Amino acid sequence: MFGPDSGSASDPGLAGWLRLAAAPTFAVMALVTALSGDAGMICSAMPNTSPFSGMTLMYVLMSIFHGMPWLNLMARLRRSAARRV
């Protein structure tokens, strides 16, 4: 799941932890960008844009796209829990 430096599902290694950190980081960045009100100033030249356009939308999409390591981790943990029962 996480590459050559990985251990088990509960010990993913450094690269695995970086993959897991991406989705929540982008989600927080989307929230901060949307709440700050400066989303239009960062990427868009248009004033009075929606807070869900530009950078906020990009961060939400990146958070979704980087969610696969979380899904893989949950599936592995679920399979290992089912084996124990």
Where do the domains of the chain lie?
13-84
Distance CA 57, CA 69 (A): 21
Structural contact between residues 59 and 12, judged by C-beta atoms closer than 8 angstroms: no
Per-residue pLDDT tens digits for 13-52: 888 888 889 999 998 988 888 887 655 544 555 555 565 6
Asked if pLDDT for residue 2 goes beyond 60, the answer is no
What are 82's two structure tokens? Answer: 């089912």
Structural contact between residues 63 and 26, judged by C-beta atoms closer than 8 angstroms: yes
Q: First vs last Cα of the chain: how many Å apart?
A: 23
Structural contact between residues 53 and 44, judged by C-beta atoms closer than 8 angstroms: yes
0.75 exceeded by pTM: no
Distance CA 31, CA 23 (A): 12
